[in-house]
Structure 1
Amino acid sequence: MKSRFFDKPLQFKIIIICAITNVIIFVVNIFLILGINSMSNDMEAAYLDNRQLNELTTALSDVQDSMTEYLSSKTSESLENYYKSAQRYQDLTDTLNDKITDQSYDRMERNIKFMSKTYLDEVAQTVEAKRGRNVEKYRTYYENATELCDDIEEYITNLNLELFVVNSEKYTALSKAFKKFEAAGVLVMTLIMVGNVIMVASLVNAMTMPLKNLASSADEVSKGNFDTEIPDTPYDDEVGVVTRAFNKMVVSIKQYIEQLKESMEKERLLQEKELMMTAHLKEAQLKYLQAQINPHFLFNTLNAGAQLAMMEGADKTYEYVQTVADFFRYNVKNNKNDVTVREEVDLVDNYIQILNVRFSGDIGYEKQIDKRLLDIKMPSMILQPIVENAVNHGIREMGDKGKISLKVFRDGEDVCISVADNGKGIAKEEIDRILDGSYEPREQQYDNNGIGLGNVIARLRLYAGRDDVVEIHSQGENMGCEFIVRIPRQKKEANDVQSDDRG
């Protein structure tokens, strides 16, 4: 039976042990509580007779007082009070014992009951004589009633004292019995708790001994000693399964370590080859960058052309060349830095101006800017690629009917920048692919700066630290498209603090 119990799962054994100990404690507590309640009720009832006699005395005084008040005032309210107090006193006297016994307090209680009946009759006759204006009768009745009231009060007082002595003896005996019961209860609970502790400790020790052996062997294995073994447990619970699996695991670990050493050696050789390939690639990229045109040479050349146009009086040419120079300078200077919303909006203005020179002013352009938000920080090269995408894939083929709308506004704790067009629109499937990064653009049909929407969305999410920074809305084909960028306003405060630290 014992072996069969220890073969059960650990959870089952723990639940059974806890259930048995709790049931034992619960049953003992029930018996103790029932005994305490019984003795408490007996102690509470010890002075019940005295409380009833006190109530009877109070009711008797109320009858006498209400009768006296009516005789002196003769009001309907005082008469009503008399009837109520008389009825209450009558109800209390009806509960008194009228049996004939040898006990003195039983005889006194019987006398009080009959005297009370006579008293109520005298009081009633007093009130009736007063109502009938019979002065002589109501005085006689009143004196008789008063004398009876004094006698009843004296009887009640004597009975109360006699019952108090008897009840005090009962209460003392009950109190002593209660203390003995309380001591016995504490002793029983102590024995039960000690017995439970011994039983639980024995069972838990039997269950945890295999675990201790397993822990000791596992500690040896953690120190690198894979030759350790532990005695097999005779039980088929979880600990027995784990113990038997431990020896198999140790053997497997030995084999795995040997295989791992061989694998690590192969991986080291592969990493060396990969590092060599990476070094060659970086060297090639460096040579490619060194071979590119110096951007300062390009800016100086454009500025020289702008000055030449100004000297020749070609104001529009001067303005165009200056705009192109500003556009390229921004692209090179701010490619990796944070900028303000104002700088990004200025770049879009320059880009639209360049396109309108190229395409004879075909693109309509309007702005709604909340100027209070222009100094908020944001990543560079965000808005121009979005506008470029709207022009190339939305309104390029619409001629002078194409329009671009740029809005900067606040939405809660975000600064929102909206770029909208009235062009071809985007299908819902393509919007989903753009947002999840799976969109692959077609072969380039138009010239652009090489920064795609995927790059823009990825940098915005890294900058804001969340995914909901871009929204794309399109009602369908030829219904236009709106691209909304969300920039957290607190980024401005963080950047300001960093600037102060650098200063």
Structure 2
Amino acid sequence: MLMYNLKDIFDISILQEIQDRFCESTGFSAVTVDYTGRPITRYSNFSSFCKLVRKNEKHLQLCHRSDAYGGIEAVRKGESHIYICHAGLVDMAVPIVLNGQYLGAIMAGQVKMKENELSELDNIMEFTKGILEDEEIRKAYEDIPVVTREKVVAAAKLMYVVSNYIVEKGAISLMQEKLSSKNRELIEEIKARENLEKALKDSEMKALQLQIKPHFMFNVLDNIASLAMIENAERTRELVYLFAEIMRYIVKNADKIVKVNEEIDEIEKYLKIQAIRFGGKINYNIDIDENIKDIGIPSMIIQPFVENSVIHGIEKKEGNGSIEVLGYSFEENIIFEVRDDGVGMTKHRLKEVMESFEAKTIVGKSTGLGIANVNKRIMYTYGSEYKVSIKSSPNIGTTVIIKIPRIFT
């Protein structure tokens, strides 16, 4: 059986980025550990108490052991595990499992809960006696905030969705390596052009979708982190729930055909996040004909253009702006339009964007990468005659038109 290692499978810098953004948006501490409880990322937002405790080599080893036990219990349960660590704090462990192998866990928490809520939690290890005898450590412990069980559970659910995304990314990476090896064998042994082209096309499809998802995820995390800095997290919790639902949708429906109404529901959640973030600067309207809501389309082919309207259309505009998402039947096709009255594009910039659709490699802003990938996915799914078209004028706005055949039901 092939044994995997976290550092060999995943980009640690991306793990660190996800971990840091999670802590910024929730206020929790976090670290990613291997199956032995040893950290493979830097500590994010660690409390003064835990930093002081881990300066003692004996206590550090107990922390590693506590993290290891927490991760093992989480993988045994098949879900996030919330527990009390050896130092008396509430932690959560989210397992990272690839192809049935437990690789490690994302550990988060370092908070306190009310006494009446602690009775529901397990003590992962026996409490370390004498840990609070040091005055500096005791004071740091007293400074740790008390949070509600609801907030801890919500954060655990969010991190579980993120963990699934990480595992999916690693699985796709492994699959691409296998496909690449298979393609070389086909070229050398049988020169079967038709089979080779199909394998390459499938591999590229997954790579394009993989590029879209972290791009979208990091933008949403930026929004949550920004809002968390300026308010006391009452609305932020709503944003976290919305974001968790979006991430579940992405993980669940990667490479799948979904119903139009499912795709539109996720777009509405994204626009709701942006409307809260900008405090009324963005208005939006979604109008989808009833007769197409149950028709199947590839997931995530509309959202990148909505995101583009927000970031490059309305956000850069002085004053308020609006976004409209339309969907309707036309002859044997379905048409989706994403309209905004933002800053628009010059003819030169519009030409650059359209030319990027044809390029084999895309150089430029991440949003350009996302929309060019959608165009390629549509062509791969439906044929080269189906492409995205864009109309735009400076200071007037931009309209994106997506045309696909009405073939999936």
TM band (smaller chain)? 0.3 to 0.5
- TM-score normalised by L of structure 2: 0.43
Which of 1 and 2 has higher RCO (CA within 8 Å, sep 6+)?
2
Larger radius of gyration: 1
More strand by share: 2
More helix by share: 1
